[in-house]
Amino acid sequence: MIKEKISYMDVVRTEEGFEEKEKESTVRFLFSVSALKLYEQKTGRKFFKDYGKASSLLFSHIISNFGNKKNLNNLNQNEMLKLAPLLVDPQINEFLFELIPCLYVKIFDGKYVQNEETYDECENSIWMMELINMPFFVEVFKELSVFKSKKK
């Protein structure tokens, strides 16, 4: 599970009217069977086919920049900057934009919930764009890799 602390500006009601105020929140993302089904339902495509294309791009970029000696678990800040061009790759960008709302999870009655409602909340949130950055990108691929290795 990915727990990400985000801060964003929101309009709040005050005694004087309305004003912008910075808010902080922790959001959670989990790759699960529910997330996979939600992805396929929303996109009309097979998740693992899209994941395969995106991860191939990621790993070929890692190999071309760092050789076979690097993996996602030990990239430092400078190495992550070398991966930044991937954020503008249309295939990876589309994959992440479509996947992130599917991974978003909320806790209701002590249970993790991922459904149309949580998808819509994330997709329409003012904080989702805060997540389009290299460290979060790497965390998403690590989360997916953990799930895939558990599946074997």
Q: What confidence tens digit (pLDDT) does each residue in 116-134 have?
A: 999 999 999 988 888 888 7
- pTM score: 0.82
More confident residue, 64 or 47: 47
pLDDT tens digits for 17-27? 898 888 898 99
Task: List the end-to-end C-alpha distance of the chain, in Å, as a whole number.
Answer: 19
CA–CA distance, 79 with 81 (Å, rounded to integer)? 5
Q: Is the pLDDT of residue 83 over 90?
A: no
pLDDT of residue 143 exceeding 90, the answer is: no
Mean pLDDT, the chain, integer: 86
